[in-house]
Structure 1
Amino acid sequence: MKFELSDQTCLTWSGDCLVVGLSEAALPLSGPLAALNDRVSGLLQELIDEAEFTGKVGTKAVIRVGNDVRKLGLVGLGAADSLNADSLRRAAATAARLAKQEKCASLGLSVPLGDHDPALVTQALVEGITLALHQDNRFKSDDADKGKTTLETIHLLELPGQEASLETASAICDGVILARELVSAPANVVTPETLAQTAQDIATAHGLDLEILEREQCEALGMGAYLGVAQASDLPPKFIHLTYKPADTPSHKLAIIGKGLTFDSGGLNIKGAGSGIEMMKIDMGGAAATLGAAKAIAQLKPSAEVHFISAAAENMISGKAMRPGDILTASNGKTIEVNNTDAEGRLTLADALVFAEKLEVDAIVDLATLTGACIVALGDDIAGLLSDHDDLANAVATAAETAGEKFWRLPMEEKYFEGLKSIVADMKNTGPRPGGSITAALFLKQFVESTPWVHLDVAGPVWTEKESGYNNPGGTGFGVRTLVQWVLGM
């Protein structure tokens, strides 16, 4: 599939499928749309009438035209005054799926530019189309699309000269697709070693620096919290430190940390029936987003230096497993009473946060599929954002809004740390059930001394069971676009 940035309009383009984005305000037809209706002998108005098309978000319709345009499609953009980058992504996704469904080899997409920046419109359209058409069929023996007409060329109409935006969108989509495929793969395919090899592939392809710390090196650094989680598995842990450095003096020095539990059995506090244990392959969604962001950032070459970190491991059951009641010592010397082995992600993040701060970075962002409590609070589509540093929290939230990923800031209520206090150690790894996402963030805060830090709890949005917007069932790659936007904005 390739993109063409065309100076043609909906009045001049010819090909398999012409799709026009219409807002609610575009009806009744006037101006260029009325001219398009004349071009297709009134079939545009006929389509609007027969489909009762209103222009509302998510609506679509298609009709056979013939001649120089075989099919004519419509996608709804909603209210004209609420049109933004993400509604354009979603409309583009709808258009692409419509063209594919109609067995079209070429698509001409026309959306009203209005006062919108053509560069941002181009990026949004490319992202929506690319992500909507991505299908992960690696583990199916029969390819359902084999032999079918495939969408080969997408012409973005009235958007000539936007090659830079096309390249930006393509790099970001590369990262999102990598994250999707890592999350969707089963735990017998994606292991800590696989994540390390993925980091190596990125480093080799794009000239990044890579350090993989083995168990013995982590022991020497005192990473008792991380290694406590990893000790039950037959698969060795891999502490991944991938670094992008700009050609010139960096404008900022940043760290991104992703939770990298490639499978979480719950440990001796095993996940029981109905717990979703079969889905615990997704517990490395934070690491997947981190590596996806690394792949994109390596291509986009921002001015900031970025450290991508993941303490990759499995949380398994064996005679070597950490036990409830064990006391672990993290690499900053703080002791942790393990009162629940199924709250393991925060233990791995603890040592990763200490490691990142020792790099003397200007800011740290961590992503983790950390708590079911965040899903209870915010649902499957919205991630939690927690921080006691307003400027950094606002910067990440702004990046997320631009990227079209939904976050909601939760309070860092210090009083809730009372629930983490232990009579035998500095803290416990879990507190009471209420406010579980907040207490998890307060636990992590104990391993960051003074560096501005944001914690993103992405437990809900990293996976979807159904087609939605530009996401297909499976891993979503959530977080990649926010991270990239944040770094590019620094």
Structure 2
Amino acid sequence: MPSRPHKLIPPTFSRTPSLDAETVELAVAIELPEGVEAIGLAVAPVVDEDADDVPSALGLDRAALKRAGFTGEVGQTLVIPAQDAPTYIAVGVGAPEKRTAAVLRDVSAAFARAAGAFASIGLDVSRSFDVDPASAGQVITEGALLARYRYTELKREAKHTPLAALHLVAGAEDIAATASGAHRGEVLARSANLARDLANTPPSHLTASDLGDVALAVGATHGLAVEVFDKDALIALGTGGLLGVNAGSVEEPRMIQLRYTPKDDSGAPIEATGHLALVGKGIMYDSGGISLKPSDPMHASMKMDMAGAGAVLAAMTALQELGCTSSVTAFLMCTDNMPSGSATMLGDVLTFRNGTTVEVKNTDAEGRLVLADALCLAAEEEPDAIVDIATLTGAALMALGTKTAAVHGNEQGIVDQALASSKATDEPLWQLPLERSYRKQLDSDVADISNMGGRFAGSTIAALFLADFVGDIPWAHLDIAGTMLVDADESWRPKGATGYGTRLLIDLAENFTAAR
């Protein structure tokens, strides 16, 4: 089906590694080379008023820093102008008891942001942290590359300086491990930035079919088998939920299936340590359908209602390079949700992949409808566990705010693995109950189940709906409605789409163990 007439500019993803991405030179050495334009040096809060432990290269003593309002607390920065390069930047590292790997990531991000006018930057802070060299290299690289991300695809003149080179200082005995960690951090940041690109792209530039094209392109580069299902194929599959949500749109829906199979160095498949299925909600734009959303700022952000699918697609691109030993199958359910004369109406009944009939009581509760079909398909694969990720409910946002996503599940083992990956990546999760006694709120007079319950516990009600479609397979559901974007720059999260869940899913796949 042709694209809408106003789609004048084709989608571009210059940050996508396989599509002419900007590359950042990464280097680790015992000292910084000539030509580095900005150098970050660690400064801790004062412990002994008589001791001046400020790096001499800054050219300022503790008293001068104090007069400038710099105390050395975590993430504080002070740019010290220089007549000639390099420019030095004091970076607060906080008290010793605060110096975790997550804090080191934040410190790196604060420096990279303060050095935003410079293309070649160097950082000498890791030796202030009691963090192993590989982890230090990883989180420093993540922090810098994530913080310097900007979505500029549709700007004629980008008003930012792309990062061209990142130099890290390490002890001679730590260079190899730090460099290895830096490479891992680069892969993780690249994947998260791809998810950000996808979520930040306007819906007229990224339709469901466009996302299918992106998946085919990145899949070919990153060792993934990709299959894109068009509308006719989806009808044949019986995905009534996805088709019902798509009914009001002029754009065709797509289901994107990606498969990762672990291989040895020769490219031959090896026995997987487990089989994980991932499911992502890909609502390319959510108007609410017939249950139209109010016209407020949140409506404008509904181009990001595909952030779950974006996170899954981006996570899949990292698995081969990081040597993941689990096999991973992913299902992305993609459509927009629009009102029109052909749109699904309140009271309509849809029939899903597994034969379940669902009464639609609210067309703005569409995410669970598209996910249910994917969960049916994932369950047919008989994986060891299923994890879905979706910008699903405002209730999760109201309960947990913008920093923490909700997780529900039917088996504690897979939930615990998700929580462990959350901690490892500093992408916060909080477990909410799957309170089975609320399930009766989803009863329907005319169908097997309805898509809406009562006024309260909306995130749990949505999770209970999804639980009906996974059977007894261990399953966890990540509701990321609150964490999909930030309204202003904070640490390694620039304003706009966060890419939340991408690094979490990568870590989960790498460390996945069968829960049954």
TM-score per shorter chain, which class? over 0.9
Aligned residue runs from structure 1 range 316-465, under 5 A: 316-465=338-487
Give the equivalent residue in structure 2 for 1:175.
191
Q: Does 1:6 align with 2:42?
A: no
Aligned match of 1:192: 208
Shift of 1:261: 0.6
**Percent identity of equivalent pairs:** 33
How many residues in Structure 1 have an aligned counterpart in Structure 2? Answer: 479
Match of 1:121 in 2: 136
How far off its partner does 1:71 sit?
A: 2.8
User: Letter of the aligned partner of 1:115 in structure 2?
Assistant: D
Match of 1:58 in 2: 75
CA contact (8 A) 1:95 1:109 kept: no
- Which amino acid in structure 2 is aligned with residue 112 of structure 1? R
| TM-fit CA distance, 1:425 | 1.3
Query: Counterpart amino acid of 1:16?
Result: E
Deviation of 1:63 (Å): 2.1
Cα 1:321–1:79 change in 2 (3 A) is same
The residue aligned with 1:209 is 225
**C-alpha contact 1:193 1:238 (8 A) present in aligned 2:** yes
Tell me by how many angstroms 1:66 deviates.
6.4
What residue number does 1:140 align with? 155
Matched, 1:154 2:169: no
Instruction: List per-residue Cα deviations over 1:299-349 (Å, max 9, x = no partner).
Output: 223101011211111111222211100111111121111000110110000
Deviation sequence 1:221-252 (CA, Å, 0-9, x none): 22112211112212111111000101111111
How has the CA–CA distance of structure 1 residues 78 and 348 changed in structure 2, closer, same or farther, with 3 Å as cutoff? same
The partner residue of 1:19 within 33, 40, 61 is 40
Q: 2:27, 2:179 within 8 Å by CA — same for their partners in 1?
A: no
Distance of aligned partners of 1:40 and 1:393 in 2 relative to their CA distance in 1, 3 Å threshold: closer
Secondary structure at 1:307's aligned position in 2? strand
Aligned twin of 2:94: 78
Question: Residue 166 of structure 1 aligns with which residue?
Answer: 182
One-letter amino acid matched to 1:278: A
> Cα distance 1:8–1:273, how it changes in 2: closer, same or farther (>3 A)?
closer
What is the CA distance between 1:28 and its match in structure 2?
Answer: 5.1
Cα distance in 2 for partners of 1:469, 1:29 equals 32
Are the structure 2 counterparts of residues 126 and 27 from structure 1 closer, same or farther at C-alpha, using a change threshold of 3 Å?
Answer: farther
Query: What is aligned with 2:235?
Result: 219
Give the gaps of 5 or more residues in structure 2. Answer: 1-23, 264-269
**Aligned-residue CA RMSD (Å):** 2.1
Aligned pairs (5 A) from 1:236-247: 236-247=252-263
SS in 2 for 1:430: coil
**What SS does the aligned partner of 2:27 have?**
strand
Contact 2:119 2:165 in 1 (8 A): no
Q: Is the 8 A contact 1:21 1:91 kept in 2?
A: no
Question: Could you state the TM-score of these two structures normalised by the residue count of structure 2?
Answer: 0.88
Aligned partners of 1:328, 1:120: CA distance in 2, in Å?
Answer: 49
Question: Structure 1 residues 90 and 397, CA, compared in 2 at 3 Å: closer, same or farther?
Answer: same
CA distance in 1: counterparts of 2:124 and 2:48, whole angstroms: 19
Q: Distance in 1 between matches of 2:181 and 2:94?
A: 24
Can you list the C-alpha shifts for 1:203-223, whole angstroms capped at 9, x where unaligned?
211231112222222222221
Question: Structure 2: how far apart are the matches of 1:208 and 1:138?
Answer: 26
Question: Once structures 1 and 2 are overlaid, which stretch shifts more, 135-144 or 474-483?
Answer: 135-144
* Pair 170,7 (structure 1): closer, same or farther in 2 beyond 3 Å: same
3-state SS, counterpart of residue 116 of structure 2: helix
Q: Which moved more, 1:424-433 or 1:444-453?
A: 424-433
Shift of 1:114: 4.4
> Which secondary structure state, in structure 2, belongs to the residue aligned with residue 90 of structure 1?
helix
1:468 corresponds, among 469, 481, 490, to 490
Q: 1:152 to 1:327 in 2, by over 3 A?
A: closer
Q: Distance in 2 between matches of 1:211 and 1:30?
A: 64
8 A contact 1:257–1:310 mirrored in 2: yes
1:478 aligned residue (500, 503, 510):
500
SS at match of 1:172: helix
**For 1:65 and 1:483, how far apart are their aligned partners in 2?**
43
1:283-303: CA deviation from partner (whole Å, max 9, x where unpaired): 101001011101122322310
Deviations along 1:416-471, whole A, 9 cap, x unmatched?
Answer: 11211112111110111210000000000000101110000001111112101111
Partners in 1 of 2:204 and 2:189 — Cα distance?
Answer: 25
Aligned residues of 2:112 and 2:148 also touching (Cα < 8 A): yes
Aligned 8 A contact 2:140 2:182 in 1: no
Change (3 A) 1:395 1:13: farther
